[in-house]
Amino acid sequence: MTGMERYDRQLRVEGWDQNILLSSTVFIAGVGAIGGEVAKNLAMMGVGKLILADYDYVELSNLSRQLLFRDQDIGKGKAVVAAERLREINPHVSVEAYGQDIRELGEEVLGRTDIIFSCLDNWASRRWLNSVAVSLEKPLVDGAMNGFYGNVQVVFPRKTACLECQSINLIPREEKLAECTLKRRRPEHLVNDLKEHGITVGLEEAEKLFQLNIKTIYDIKYTRLDMIAELADDQILKLIEELRSRLMPPMPAVQSVASVVAGIMTTIGMQILHQGRLGKPPTGLIVYDALNSRLSRVKISRDPNCIVCSENHSAPLEFSFDLNETVLKLKETLASVFGFPDPEVLYAGRRLDDEDVLAKVGVKDRDIIYVSTTRLFEPLAIRIVSSS
């Protein structure tokens, strides 16, 4: 029996080249409902190397829609378990597993891939991964779902619209709130915010949350508990989990929809790897409506001013601002315009403090500053145009 006999049926497809797959490396961010299906498909098809990243752990509720996990896997890291299962499915495929946030991997891992598959459940990580793909000039296939609806977008860096091109309309409202604007907040503000959501929390509990730098609804939803576990006692961690479960009820998900979305993504991946031999990959947004058995194509245009993929991306973005204002005020403005909840300002090789006044630290008209954020892979270059 030859190694190729495993792939006999797909070798019969006109234009198919198994050697292309065997020599390819693919990165999959998130191995949940969609990502697990994508990884399983690629392993069965014989892609040479799969790199998985997911810092989550297997839960009982995953088992109805995530094929790679079993009851005995509950509590284990998803990436490691998925890698073990994929090696069982196809021992001829090499699988790397990273049980950590994708932002911690960086270019040394992602730079080795031929395609990046984004199967993430939050917009913040998707924005970051999109910026990585554009920066490294790697094709990105992004998929998501909600109940009986799913969508797929393909990004060819600087050729098609990237995720950031449409981000201003898709970023959740609470993410647009700048962390820096919250430094003036007090625990009672958080108490009132939660009350608006029908949740009652005492002032003392809010003060404990503030000590962990959890000052907003957004912080409660997205702060990684493993990052603050050493600073918080079990009681406050339990409180955060309870608040999170009430503020973020699990998104509805159906296995059949995940399978369809993953199937579309995998097929597009095959087209990309074969570079035209299996047809031209689609552009724009593919929307799947399972209840009406309908697939729709939505045209998406590139934003000529996109901070990630515009043609003049290498040139600093001009930004009008009063140089007599503080760095904190600048952060607030940047957060409002770009939807960065955590901007940091760098100038002349150092990170500026919130209380610094731009003019007093030497920033002059048309000087270039850099803005770093967890939403972008590389700092954003901005040319400050004085409005004073």
Query: In this predicted model, what pLDDT tens digit does every residue of 315-356 receive, in sequence order?
Result: 888 999 999 999 989 988 888 888 887 889 999 889 999 899
Predicted local confidence at residue 2, as pLDDT:
54
Q: What is the mean pLDDT of the chain?
A: 90
8 Å CB contact between 156 and 139: yes
DSSP 64: G
Residue 80 has pLDDT above 70, yes or no: yes
| Spatial distance between the Cα atoms of 358 and 205, rounded to a whole number of angstroms | 37
The residue among 42, 61, 64, 60 whose CA lies nearest residue 51 is 42
Share of the chain above pLDDT 70, in %: 95
Mean pLDDT, residues 131-143? 96
Predicted local confidence at residue 178, as pLDDT:
45
Residue 1 has pLDDT above 50, yes or no: no
| Spatial distance between the Cα atoms of 242 and 248, rounded to a whole number of angstroms | 10
155: number of Cβ within 10 Å: 27
Predicted local confidence at residue 226, as pLDDT:
76
- Which residue type is seen at 170? L
The pTM score is 0.86
HSE toward the beta carbon, residue 232, CA cutoff 13 A: 24
384: number of Cβ within 10 Å: 22
Share of the chain above pLDDT 90, in %: 66
Mean pLDDT, residues 250-269? 93
Three-state DSSP class for residue 380: strand
Catalytic positions, please? 180
| Spatial distance between the Cα atoms of 82 and 103, rounded to a whole number of angstroms | 20
Query: In this predicted model, what pLDDT tens digit does every residue of 177-236 receive, in sequence order?
Result: 545 555 567 899 889 989 988 999 999 999 999 988 888 887 888 787 777 888 888 899
Residue 116 has pLDDT above 70, yes or no: yes
Among 130-139, 292-301, 331-340, the minimum mean pLDDT is found in: 331-340
Confidence class for position 137, pLDDT limits 50, 70, 90: very high
Residue 369 has pLDDT above 60, yes or no: yes
8 Å CB contact between 160 and 134: no
